[in-house]
Chain A
């Protein structure tokens, strides 16, 4: 497979050292006929001045200072973006800028700094709304992260609306954050949790899901892209089935929003959650998207300042959404920095990012599955099945912890080993733990190559003991 060559939009800053690989691959791309996907791109690639088409990964690497370091004597190869992403310099600058020039509490003050902070904070909210095509920024509630957002829905909407015998449908592949809150709330309300298992392709069985949906179903809470299986669920279809019986749908979009275009109008979901730190933003901030009428009907989650209208000794009245669900001083700088991350991603363009990751993900899958004794979880990539750019896998006879430790200490390759906050899924698959390599648009083909070489070395090291 040739290097991935992307058409360059008018991207102003192209550092010379970012182009070294792209230079060679560009001419190969021109002549090669196999890259039909990019022939259109390459023909119109004579865009800017002296631009050789470079892969997206190479182009953006200079924006991420953290990637340019050595660990344990080797160059860092960061393949754990599904756990958290790295942040470009503009996001760090935005955070620093906030604290340096206009830090002030929001919503309450009259003075200049406070007004500026409030403006920027609310602007960040608008950016999030636009990013996912919400109809109004009032439908965006800032939370600490996606986990808190799901808990918000569980405790606010769930406690009010779930009655004994009501059913909540999840899949066995959900992240713990989309299992435990429902367990807690169903204990309190008498609702029943039902789980969709996997089918032969190792994705949640949508046929079974359809069968499970009944008039008793009140909520379907599912992931968009799985952080272990890399599979993508047909949310639009699921929403149609759910709405037919009057059930609501919550989408855990943590692994989709950072990597592809997510349009809540198209999906027509009732709730959607995501975390900033997985999409080049800082930790400490995430959001819940909720349809206006739904949020209107929900009681408060946390109580305190900002979410109230009037406070008396014996009772209080509450603010309109989204304020109703934002008690206390928010993570102001972080929200603004999230806005900067969204700007950064939008300037590259989510479709471009997605396209790049599909190719790189396929490359990773291909190289990984070519190694003997490697078992990758989730569906096979194909024309109709696009995997997310990550692979959870196990090597026969080698514990993932050993693998990850050796990769880190001998090769500087950072992957994750464990259950990835998906214990039920691992139990279902019959394993205690797995290793996971996950990519983001700042990874390159060379990263994948380094990883595969390191992995082969690791496997042969441990095999020498057998």
Chain B
């Protein structure tokens, strides 16, 4: 029975939201529960039912206590949230004054553990934020999801911190169950409409998507560890055994490997530069005699868009961050300094260098 069931297509079951459902049917390692990776658009709509594809296998899956989705209330009750998140919601509810709420939010953000720059990748970036937000997820040794996040905007950083603090260290199903309704309870007037610009909703979605991916990868790993060997990349958080790394970061060929994370001793820049990056360095060093020079290849942040694909010719070296401290900028306005640099790098700009983000100072200004 089991074998036949396993080989046939997944069955679709509509499962009402009940806290004990997952508790009973998920045992780790959860061979019984396979979740197909959902694209963001397919993530469950935030109502009270979740659609899951369940492979019926040897595991003892108790039929769900099927009570009809009744409920008069429209929002997810606070008790269903992870405990930390409940605390956070209660804290915000106790703070009435809007300004104080913002202060609290920003306070959270300030105490967020900083995110290592090597994780500020395209796959970790939250779509639809006018500010930049990155979220990273990995398993701890109990297969709870650990999150790290960062943002260049204080408010978004605060929201990210809320989510990190509220969801980190929790198991995947609990995280997936969270709906953005709780944001209303915070009283921060964060709109919940799933529009492109809704950073908060998209942050939560990304965090849930990453949790799901970790779960799926975990399943694949435990059932086929050999095939994982080839794509195994040693990163700080893996420890032998079942390594569930956010696989996407290593799959882009045009990435410049950031080797700097492990040996960050001294030196103004530790990124391995490709040929263009080296040429840029040489040119700037020769012409500007800088006191400080940092050339950082950030092409990976733009690896997706059409203008970059196939046009650069130089292994996708298209976008750079430059930090130059030089006397040559003395007495020159910001725009003039930028112009100097653009003029020096004319050849590169003509041949596939796409954009430069420049910090240009004189030694006195540093």
Residues on A close to B: CB < 8 A? 72, 183, 197-200, 202, 398-402, 405-406, 409-410, 417-418, 424, 427-428, 430, 432-433, 461-462, 464-465
Contact = CB atoms under 8 A, between A and B. Distances in A.
Given A197-B342, A427-B355, A401 B131 contact: yes
A432 B152 contact: yes
B338 A462 contact: no
B99 A410 contact: yes
27 contacts: A183-B307, A200-B335, A202-B335, A398-B154, A399-B152, A399-B155, A400-B130, A401-B131, A401-B153, A402-B155, A405-B155, A406-B155, A409-B98, A418-B130, A424-B355, A427-B356, A427-B357, A428-B338, A430-B357, A430-B358, A432-B132, A433-B130, A462-B106, A464-B103, A465-B103, A465-B107, A465-B154
Nearest to B307: A183
A183 B156 CA distance: 33
B131 to A, nearest CB: 4
Interface string B321-348: 0000000000001111011001000000
B335 A198 contact: yes
B110 interface: yes
Contacts of B71: none
* 10 nearest A-B residue pairs (beta carbon): A399-B153, A401-B131, A401-B153, A418-B130, A401-B130, A402-B155, A402-B154, A427-B355, A402-B153, A200-B333
Q: Which of B98, B130, B132 has the most CB of A within 10 A?
A: B130
Given A401-B156, A410-B98, 18 more contacts: A72-B189, A197-B342, A200-B336, A399-B131, A399-B153, A401-B129, A401-B153, A402-B153, A402-B156, A405-B155, A430-B334, A430-B358, A432-B132, A432-B152, A461-B99, A462-B106, A462-B154, A465-B107
Contacts of B355: 424, 427
Nearest to A433: B130
Interface string B349-366: 000000111110000000
A458 to B, nearest CB: 10
Interface string B87-106: 00000000000110011001
Contacts of B107: 465
A430 B154 contact: no
Contacts of A197: 339, 342
B110 A465 contact: yes
A172 B104 CA distance: 40
Nearest to A397: B154
A416 B334 CA distance: 24
Contacts of A400: 130
A139 B209 CA distance: 52
Contacts of B338: 428, 430
B263 to A, nearest CB: 29
A399 B156 CA distance: 10
Contacts of B99: 410, 461
Contacts of A200: 333, 335-336
B106 A465 contact: yes
Given A405-B155, A465-B106, A199 B131 contact: no
Nearest to B197: A418
A199 B189 CA distance: 42
Contacts of A462: 106, 154
Contacts of B131: 399, 401-402, 432-433
Contact of B189 (A409, A418, A465): A409
Interface string B144-184: 00000000111110000000000000000000000000000
B142 to A, nearest CB: 35
Contacts of A428: 338
A197 B337 CA distance: 13
A67 B99 CA distance: 25
A465 B342 CA distance: 37
A401 B109 CA distance: 15
Contacts of B359: 430
B335 A399 contact: no
Contacts of A410: 98-99
Contact of A406 (B102, B132, B156, B342): B102
A290 B98 CA distance: 53
A406 B188 CA distance: 11
A464 to B, nearest CB: 8
Interface in B80-130: 98-99, 102-103, 106-107, 110, 129-130
A183 B311 CA distance: 13
Given A409-B98, A417-B130, A418-B130, A399 B154 contact: yes
B322 to A, nearest CB: 10
Contacts of A432: 131-132, 152
Nearest to A192: B350
A236 B356 CA distance: 32
Nearest to A419: B130
A428 B356 CA distance: 8
Contacts of B189: 72, 409
A202 B338 CA distance: 11
Nearest to A198: B335
B156 A199 contact: no
Nearest to A431: B357
A199 B155 CA distance: 35
Contacts of B154: 398-399, 402, 462, 465
A432 B339 CA distance: 19
Nearest to B358: A430
